[in-house]
Structure 1
Amino acid sequence: MQLTGIHHVSALTASAKKNYTFYTEVLGMRLVKKSVNQDSPNMYHLFYADEIGSPGTDLTFFEMIGVGHTYEGNNSISLTSLRVQNDEALSYWVERFNQYEVKHQGIEKQFGRSVLFFQDPEGQRLMLVSDQENKGVASGIPWEKSPVPQRYGITGLGPVKLTVPEKEMSAKVLTTIMGFRKVGSYSAYQEGQPEVEVYQTGEGGTGAEVHLEIRVDLAKEKPGRGSVHHVAFRVSDKKELEEWHHRLKQERIPNSGVVDRYYFQSLYFREPNGILYELATDGPGFTTDESSEHLGESLALPPFLEKQRSEIESNLTPLITK
């Protein structure tokens, strides 16, 4: 069994409409699925990805109207990164962020790569990472109809950073249970803090990394708008996911069991510092109920919610006002 990379990252937003505007019009990502939270169908679940919604390119948001501000801290997924093709693309994004008044820190170096830290309007902690030197997991293909030129477009998910107060148990789950390997470290941005450790799975590279930051000086994060709910890792198919389920049971790690999410099969568990992990299959994918040409154009519901469509639609605010 081998996790092959990051599958998706899911975060919180207080306004699906404003979220949609930023991620499609400013970041130029494609809305590949407009659906609802399957466990709470009165709220949107939006999926932004590459041209066809490839596994590993998918940043998703649950809308929680009225959710408060995030108080950043420990026991959190504290950074989500998005891949671009090369260093030239980052220069384009600096100009674009300046044009749209997006908060950013300018181009920096991290673990031998060029990166660009920025935030969305709700304070979501994000980073663009250049794939110029990447030799690992292949990226996706930016949406051809994006307002961002395709050669500069976002190609998928990059490393996620975990901020935790205690290293050993988190590192043990990553390596001993999940099969990640430590490949290096880099200096922390906070003076006096331990180096951030880098772990890779599968082919490695930007699409298959977890960065582990140890911060004993922080209180536990209070999540809200602009916080990350969970990170999912790629599993080839349901058979292998069931093997992962068996392994977690053997290790006596509490978990959800296999859950059918219609577009993929999932398995959820928390690591010792409270980070929520999901293992998700690559298929069947987002073209299960929509053609690739029309992804994200209509409200998509899994079959078990279809009978509630009228009620669900009446509770959702349209993303686009005609």
Structure 2
Amino acid sequence: MTPHTSGLHHVTAIAGAPQRNIDFYVTGLGLRLVKKTVNFDDPGTYHLYYGDDAGRPGSLLTFFPWTGISSGRPGSGQSTSTAFSVPAGSLGWWAGHFQKLGVESEFVRRTADEERLSLRDPDGLQLDLVASSTVDPRNPWDSASVPADYAVRGQHSSVLTVADPTGTVEVLTRDLGMHVIEETPGRIRVGAGDGAPGNIVDIIADPNGQVGLTAGGSVHHIAFRVPDKTTQEQWRQELVARGYGVTAILDRQYFTSIYFREPGGVLFEIATDTPGFDIDEPLLELGRSLKLPPWLEPSRDQIERAVVPITLPGENNPALVAGR
């Protein structure tokens, strides 16, 4: 029997200057940097993970930041928008917050039960803050810049833009165990479980659109949750049997991963909920130090010389700052 994903695990995007990326997501969006590590396939580049206080699956947005990278182009075969869940009635506060930061934003009402504030990050990545009538019970990261009453609760949804949605919907429903929630002209919404925030994918059909270019300001892949490596291996075997080109299980230190490309061209990852981000540093200190997997530790000196120096805002670890 095909396992069912319990929702979104993380989204990984490409950015430019890492310090600018940190400043926007910690101070601007009010997320916590829960891990500062490197791209295991390109150790001269950071891999930055943002999320809630512990970096729980479903709260995470991660980046590969390359200084000087060219801008991408949104289009078919990509995840073209990443949405975060915020409390109902909070979008006015967020609009004022972004105005103070010099970030343009726009209100968009999609349905009677869902209102969005749309904006772009410093590299042009499309982001939405979604306030819906569905109460999101997840606890936020309470930062100095964004009080808990307004703060991001976690991911809300991702938008996939494809030329033909048929194969994409089939993968999500047949192979990942999600279900269609709603169909409107040009858009199909699917969800995992009860379709609550963090469990939603919107598929947009754009048959005449230009194929997207993945570079700065674009999503590299989206990841779906699986509880453990045993279930992940079962899923891999089933996907291979159905003809998908699936990678081997890869150790990402804080979870394990498999990757495959769905028929619409979007790169999918299936990632485990375990072991989590506190396996190599205490919860209080998440994100403070450059963490490397055991196989890269012998090259630490070389890696530290290669990566760009960055500074982490004190609000990322407020208890430690207060205790100085």
TM-score by length of 1: 0.93
Partners of 1:97 and 1:50 in 2: CA distance: 20
Deviation readout 1:31-76 (Å, 9 max, x if unpaired): 0000100111110100000011111101000012221112221111
Give the Å deviation of 1:26. Answer: 1.0
- Using the alignment, how far apart are the partners of 1:4 and 1:111 within structure 2? 26
For residue 31 of structure 2, what is the aligned residue in structure 1? Answer: 29
Contact 1:70 1:227 in 2 (8 A): yes
Q: Does 1:158 align with 2:156?
A: yes
State the alpha-carbon separation in 2 of the partners of residues 57 and 146 from structure 1: 19
Structure 1 residue 311 corresponds to structure 2 residue 302:
yes
Query: Which residue does 2:120 correspond to in 1?
Result: 119
State the Cα RMSD in Å.
Answer: 1.6
In the alignment, structure 1 residue 182 sits paired with structure 2 residue 173: no
Mapped partners of 1:69, 1:254: distance in 2: 28
After superposition, give the CA deviation of every residue in 1:105-144 in whole Å (9 maximum; x if it has no partner).
125234731211111111110000124424xxx6542223
Q: Secondary structure at the match of 1:284?
A: coil
Distance 1:111 1:180 in 2: 24
* Higher deviation after alignment, 101-110 or 1-10: 101-110
- C-alpha separation between the residues in 2 aligned to 1:241 and 1:204? 22
Could you tell me which of 195, 210, 216 is aligned with 1:225? 216
Q: CA deviation at 1:166?
A: 0.9
8 A contact 2:48–2:62 mirrored in 1:
yes
Which whole-Å CA distance do the structure 2 matches of 1:139 and 1:297 have between them? 28
Q: Aligned ranges for residues 137-216 of structure 1 at < 5 Å?
A: 140-186=138-184, 194-216=185-207
Q: Which residue of 1 aligns with 2:79?
A: 77
Secondary structure, in 3 states, of the residue corresponding to 1:117? strand
Deviation for aligned residue 1:2: 1.5
Alpha-carbon spacing, 1:203–1:257, altered in 2? closer, same or farther (3 Å): farther
Report if the CA contact (8 A) 1:200-1:210 is conserved: yes
CA contact (8 A) 2:33 2:48 kept: yes
How far, CA to CA, are the matches of 2:237 and 2:35 in structure 1?
31
Tell me the distance in 1 between the aligned counterparts of 2:133 and 2:112: 13
Question: Using the alignment, how far apart are the partners of 1:321 and 1:236 within structure 2?
Answer: 31
Task: Specify every segment of 5 or more residues in structure 2 that has no aligned partner in the other structure, as ranges.
Answer: 314-324
Tell me if the contact between 1:30 and 1:51 (Cα under 8 Å) persists in the aligned partners: yes
What's the CA shift for 1:167?
1.6
Give the corresponding residue for 1:254: 245
Deviations 1:218-248 (A, max 9, x none): 1101122110000000101111001101111
* Structure 1 unaligned blocks of 5 or more: 187-193
- Aligned residue number for residue 41 of structure 1: 43
Pair 277,321 (structure 1): closer, same or farther in 2 beyond 3 Å: closer
Amino acid at match of 2:213: K
TM-score for the superposition, normalised by structure 2: 0.92
What count of residue pairs does the alignment treat as equivalent?
Answer: 311
Q: Distance in 2 between matches of 1:111 and 1:303?
A: 50
User: What is the distance in 2 between the residues matched to 1:140 and 1:38?
Assistant: 30
